[in-house]
Amino acid sequence: MQALHLSCFTAVSCLGTGLEPTLAALAANRSGLARCAFETAELATHIGAVAGVDDYRLPAELAAYDCRNNRLAVLALEEDGFAEAVRAAAQRYGAARVGVFLGTSTAGILETEQAYRRLDEAGAFVAPPVYEGSHTPYALADVVARHLGLSGPAFVVSTACSSGAKVFASAARLIGAGLIDAAVVGGVDSLCLTTLYGFNSLELVSAEPCRPYDSERKGISIGEAAAFALLERPAGTLPPEAVLLAGVGESSDAYHMSSPHPEGRGAYAAMRAALESAGLCAGDVDYLNLHGTATPSNDAAEGQAVMRLFGRDVPASSTKGATGHTLGAAGALELVIAALTLQHGLIPGSPGSHELDPALDLDYVFTPRRQALGVVMSNSFGFGGSNASVVLRRADAKGHA
């Protein structure tokens, strides 16, 4: 595929609001997970909640979209000069030539949950949920497009935990087809009771902060995040530290509704496809950001695929011990983290993890390393065997300048 420039990007998670606190937390190997005190949840677990979302107010013209998910989205858009960069792109290309492609899982369902707790004696809603503004997943793309003044193609992908990565493939296809010139690409997923109790009922939630790839891992810690990138064709000579989307690979396990293929066949296929899309081989990758949810089956399956493709030759870590598993936003958040690692020569560690599962023979990174990086890959694998791997590279990466 034609490499595309991430001309601006930003992220908000439990590590902080914007790139600077996110990078500082990664460099310090600091986790943002804390004991769950969300809403009415009574669960012995840790979560990655974003501070200040409840108090954030949408602009008056977006009042009909008010919900936690959309507040989180607009909060992130206003960080790191992202909204200004998008509006400048819309001036260059025209608002109809800039698309919006976003991943989420449950979108604004928290407000629907709250509406169902307020029924009258006849069982009718006292305050009905707002379907168009919060309940439907498309509300996310709609509010982002309206806030940024965009009128190009806009849609939401909801393929569980691969959503925020698969949208980069969608955007690259539309830019490659000449239908648009730039795209706002990312993922937003906020905390709600459906995911907390749903994953708990599946016995996938850890009582302690999650420990990806650790021999004593006990499951996931759920988080929330919003992360965005502005994607466009490279214009002229880029600075050395510029980050390019080099390739995307997608696959399906075609195996089980909630369990990954035990040998990681779908994960392997996605990673191979991403390398082929980028015109690279496994030896070109300098760091791998693992999906690494900390469930026994996910880490084992992904680890098998990584061992088969990379062996011990590529440093790898999961950053979910820092951010929690942000579900439909995970692919976008971890792509932004991968972009930061390229620009700053920092391989993140794995807060909470101490001893690698002895069944997995990997160069697993527990504490941050300073190392020049040219090419990184980020994995996102979801329920239903939906997989996506994304390859990023610096503009001055060896052999690709």
Q: Which residues are catalytic?
A: 161, 291, 325
Helices (H), 311-390: 320-323, 330-344
CA distance 128 to 114: 10
Given a contact cutoff of 8 angstroms between Cβ atoms, the answer to whether 333 and 13 are in contact is yes
SS3 77: helix
Count of C-beta atoms within a 10 Å radius of residue 247: 25
What's the CA gap between 4 and 134, in Å, rounded? 32
Q: How far is CA 200 from CA 42, 205, 326, 371, in A?
A: 11, 5, 15, 38
**Cα 286 versus chain centre, distance:** 20
Partners of 34 in the β-ladder: 47
Residue 20: CB atoms within 10 A of its CB come to: 11
